[in-house]
Structure 1
Amino acid sequence: MLFQSKIFRGDRVIWMVLLLLSLLSLLIVYSSTGALAYRQASGNTMHFLVRQVFFLGAGLGLMLVMVNFLSVKIYSILANLLVYISIGLLLVSVAMKFMGLSSGSGRTLDLGIISFQPAELAKISLILFTAKVLGKYQKSKGDLKKAFLIIISHAAVVCGLIFVSDFSTSALLFATIFTMLFVGRVPLKFLFIVVGMGVGIIAFTYFLASQFPSAPARVHTVKGRIDRFINGDPNSEQGITQADYAKLAIYEGGIFGKGPGRSDVSNYMAAAYNDFIFAIIVEEYGLLAGIFVMFLYLIFFFRSVVIVRRATRTFPAFLVTGLTMMLVFQAMINIGVSSGVLPVTGQPLPWVSLGGTSLLFTSVAFGCILSVSYQNQINSEIQKPPIQVNMPDEDFEMNK
């Protein structure tokens, strides 16, 4: 069997979940990128499918390398270096944005040979760093306080830099770190302080946008999303918003869907292949398929819980906790936005949405989790008592 080989090591259930999500990704990306292909690829509808195959394959290959050749200790060793590299890249990205040297929202850093979003590296780096600090300071309340101060100071810098161009990713990362602090037994009084600070920052941002029209554009974006979620989007009266199209796709999909490749709404949505891909899944394959997708992420979550419980050291346990919560939160946000439960944000569906380097960073997260699960398997084999063979008396006499 494929997943019984010595190549696909680690939790076999998670490997199966990734395989199923990969197949779903190829089907839905090919279907939802038709209009995009005519805009950007001269009508070549195979262009984005081939692109997705390449990045999914590269991501799976990267996971195999991580599981088979990299020790979990390496992630702990690299944690500090990576978080400071991330801060440096975020600073460069922000500087380029304010100098007008970056295009679009300023999330992408173009290095010539390769372009990527520094926030994707920062998410994984900060989780690695948080797991390392929590694992190191667990012996006393003083240690936990010290861990809290170290983590929250770094999180404030990283999330603050991401906030400049991407509020939703900043909030997602901060929520993940907060969850890790809670799991890491940080005193509740410190966590309440963090919650208060978070609410205060959002309230201040909203007030700043209301009172100062010249405030940065990202501040007004946050206020606009809050207003549209509470009061409704004025454009909804005309039924032309992305959220309206997503609701229409889910409504037209019904229980069993319209069939593969028969999505109409994807031709009118700007982000049908990314932020609203869950709605297109339901439109083509029905509500049952949507429930199945959510079930796959739940399976991944519960298997990750098993990995955490079997971990024999604190760093791997906190690492899997953080990466799992980040991926699950991201999936919940994408599904919530597509169904109209949450305000519109820019979070893709992990391992399903169309992606480039972002898929590779997602594969790093999965690779870390699978590496820890494989290390757990090795530890359990080492701890097994040796098998004792009881020889019959006559055989014993013959062997004397």
Structure 2
Amino acid sequence: MAKLIGVVSKVVGEVFAVANDGTRRALAEGDRLFAGEQLETGAAGAIAVHLQNGAELTLGRDSSLELTPQLLANQAPHVDAPEALAPSQAELTDVEKLQQAIAAGADPSQEADPTAAGPGSGGAPGAVGGGHSFVMLSEVAGRVDPIIGFPTAGFNGFAELRDLDVGLLNDSNDDAPPPLVPEVDHPVILDGLDVGGGELSLNEANLAQGSASDPAALTQNGSFTVVAADGVFNLNVGGINVVTAGAVTGVGQSIVTGLGNVLTITGYDAATGVVSYSYTLTGAESHANGAGTNGLGESITVSVSDTDGDVASGSLDINIVDDVPKAMADTNAVTATENQLSLTGNVLDNDIQGADRIASGPITPQTIEGTYGKLVLAADGSYTYTL
């Protein structure tokens, strides 16, 4: 049985396989080819064969190839192709004849045939010496290689420099590089700090011993915003490192402030830059005398830096309102008479002492002689009146 050489993968035009006995079969895609057969392509024929060893065999027009097992050994086959014959003088084109004359040293203007006169515009179509009223060009898909003339050189045998279109000089700066746009450096801004009167206010009156005890009001909450377009790198509030090297580290931490109260960082939103905090009043403070109009302030430093080194600082200001005592007029419910010569009571029972009260009592003991009797006042506010 003949050895399988390959399978036809592509056929253009007419291609035949000729057996040893001379029989010819036209080939089509998918046909098998065997050892001993001869491939023959016509004037417009070509074929591609996928060989059994995985290689691809192609054969052009007007060619023949004997299929042998050597094709499967990756050896280049011998292809019979028609010998290239030199064109005759009659087959040369006018351009080729002109090139031959120049190469031979002849003057083409003297040796060549004179040019024919062009047809007049008034010539009748088809008349002798006349022209045509139109020319019909047919789309033949031909190709022309416009190769004509000989390479030339400039003086002294050097190749001539090609002309460069420099253009006219002008004052425009079209070729100049575009100006560099400086990178914008965004500053860091602290918003919601340094508010007049303080960010938070707490009242001593809300303490347990205050004049208006309210434990829930002793803790106040607030917030401020860090605006840092380049990103927050470090943020410190009163010694608490809320952000360290870009990482949130201080949420939930507390410190005891200079006045002995408690500051706590309750939250930080990295997306919005909002810092939340709380401040708790733990006891009465030592206010200066001011009849209740004075306040005691505490400032907590806030500092921040962004990723490219910009910094900003501010202060978180807390105002603590003093709780002052209030004295009320005293009247004994019993009237002194000959039958009731002595009266007792306490002058502090109806007074408001405030959060700064003294445990031993804010009374200076003394004896007062009145018009009708004598008043003895003790340090704890108790008194005795005698007619």
The TM-score with structure 1 as length reference comes to 0.18
Q: Which has the higher contact order (CA 8 A, sep 6+)?
A: 1
Rg larger in structure: 2
- Choose between structure 1 and 2: higher strand proportion: 2
- Choose between structure 1 and 2: higher helix proportion: 1
